[in-house]
Amino acid sequence: MKAFIAEFIGVFALVFAGVGAIHVTEGGELTAVALAHGLAIALMILAVGHASGGHFNPAVTFGMLITGNIKLGPAIGYWVSQFLGGLAAAALLAGLYGSEAVAKGTPAVGLGFSAPQGLVAEIVLTFFLVLVIFATALHHKLPVAAFAIGLTIVMDIMAGGAISGAAMNPARVLAPAIIGGSWADHWIYWVGPLVGAAIAAIFYTQIYMVDEKEEAKLPVDLTSDRPSS
């Protein structure tokens, strides 16, 4: 239950900060919007990530499921909690700013770009995000993992925000879409993040997990207190 509450809070913060920043800046300050999303995730990982692993994204949970780092039962609980957290934040924002503000904060394919371009952007951007999560938080367990993940979100939004909104997260899109009623090219924000996360998960299993298995097979140096390298 603690993990589900943590996932609820994490996505709540992401949607509240992200959509709120878009409304306050009228969508004209990409850097501010990128920082709002990135800081929300980084800070929530630090605050409650210890309780759940700090997924805060159905695509991340999907990647963890593929790599065997979470079982299907808990994964379903994570997904429900994530979507409910986003929905609660979107509903609160609608009460504060109105449903139109929530609709404007719903990611959409940018003017001059096609749905296929938006799909490719979501795949690539989510791949970057999930790969950094696997590398920094799961594999190396770096103390700065939270900020590395947050900065990846900032990078992704600044690079791809004009193309697809750089959602990388189905919960970030579904909740505002329900409250704000904006469903344009909605399928992109499911297919893109899930495919991107799956590619990152496969990359992780073939690179990082293979390295771990190879290291486990190394002979022990009897003249040292640690395995030889």
Higher pLDDT, 203 or 218: 203
Residue 101 scores a pLDDT above 60: yes
Matching residue, tokens 């990647």: 63
If we measure between CA atoms, which residue out of 9, 13, 19 comes closest to residue 108?
19
Distance in angstroms (rounded) separating the CA atoms of residues 134 and 131: 5
The number of beta carbons lying within 10 Å of the beta carbon of residue 40 is 24
Distance in angstroms (rounded) separating the CA atoms of residues 58 and 41: 14
What residue ranges in 66-147 does DSSP mark as E strands? none
Distance in angstroms (rounded) separating the CA atoms of residues 155 and 143: 20
Amino acid at 103: A
Give me the pLDDT at residue 212, please.
57
- pLDDT tens across 160-196, in order? 999 999 999 999 999 999 999 999 999 999 999 999 9
- Give CA 92 to chain center in angstroms: 21
Q: Enter the CATH code of domain 2-215.
A: 1.20.1080.10
Domain range summary for the chain, segments of one domain joined by +:
2-215
- pLDDT tens across 34-55, in order? 999 999 999 999 999 999 999 9
